[in-house]
Amino acid sequence: MTAPVDPPRLAYRHTPGAGPTILFLPGYASDMSGSKALAIEAWAQATGRAFLRFDYAGCGESEGAFEDQTLAGWRDDALMMVDRVLSGPVVLVGSSMGGWIMLLVARDRPDRVAGLVGIAAAPDFTDWGFTADEKMRILAEGRIARPTPYSDQPMVTTRAFWTSGEANRIAFGTVPIDAPVRLIHGQRDDDVPWTRSVDLAAKLRSADVQTWLVKDGDHRLSRPQDIDLILRAIEHVSRPR
């Protein structure tokens, strides 16, 4: 019999203020120091809004090894922020893979989530984001490494992460979320097709769903005009109802 292993300690930055608290969920292999997270934090501090950014296990300042992590584990990291760090209603802002985790958290904590803002949301990308050959290599070799324009290091995907993603797909049918949702997507996104947000909007059960397309926007959506749009979306879903 082995002793239980303590979960990795997670790093986070919490700005107290008026609610609902805005919780930023980073993308795959990203962290809480990205430009969008910092821009939203600066706006929250200037306007007296509550805000929290954090690093998933194995990312940024949090403990753990990146290649040991799974989608379900990162979902649980986000749930821990909602359950143990924050109180009251929460607005989830999910970037890329963070948009997938956003949906899982909103499904699992319907009484806590007041609204959602997806930024190039990429739910279920383990299904559509890899070729058949890449999926076979992941299963056979345990990992693949692909070049990425966002780092000088290749982006690694492990078999554990991929199988966890496949087990936690959410957008294959009606997505049981009733909170207001704003989906922002650049039409020059080379990583996540903008049609993914259009399809997701149709599957969300909520009647208060809008998809905002940025014709000249890329995957990052971190230009000043993109940040302004994100902040407007946060204000939209934060309104009392």
**Residue 222 annotated among the catalytic residues of the structure:** no
Tokens 């930024």: give the residue: 119
189 is annotated as an active-site residue: yes
Cβ–Cβ under 8 Å, residues 98 and 25: yes
Q: Rounded to an integer, what distance in angstroms lies between the CA atom of residue 26 and that of residue 120? A: 11
pLDDT at residue 184 in the model: 98
Among 55, 189, 191, 226, which one carries the catalytic annotation?
Answer: 189
Under DSSP, the state recorded for 112 is T
Q: Which of 76, 185, 191, 219 is catalytic?
A: 219
Could you say which architecture CATH assigns to the domain 13-124+170-238?
3-Layer(aba) Sandwich (3.40)
- pLDDT tens digits in sequence order for the chain, 241 residues long: 444 557 799 999 999 999 899 999 999 999 999 999 999 999 999 999 999 999 999 999 999 999 999 999 999 999 999 999 999 999 999 999 999 999 999 999 999 999 999 999 999 999 999 999 999 999 999 999 998 887 788 899 999 999 999 999 999 999 999 999 999 999 999 999 999 999 999 999 999 999 999 999 999 999 999 999 999 999 999 987 7
Provide the H-helix boundaries in 23-179. Answer: 35-47, 71-80, 97-108, 125-128, 132-141, 159-167
Domain spans in the chain, listed from the N-terminal domain onward: 13-124+170-238
- Is 226 an annotated catalytic residue? no
Q: Which of 62, 96, 197, 238 is catalytic?
A: 96
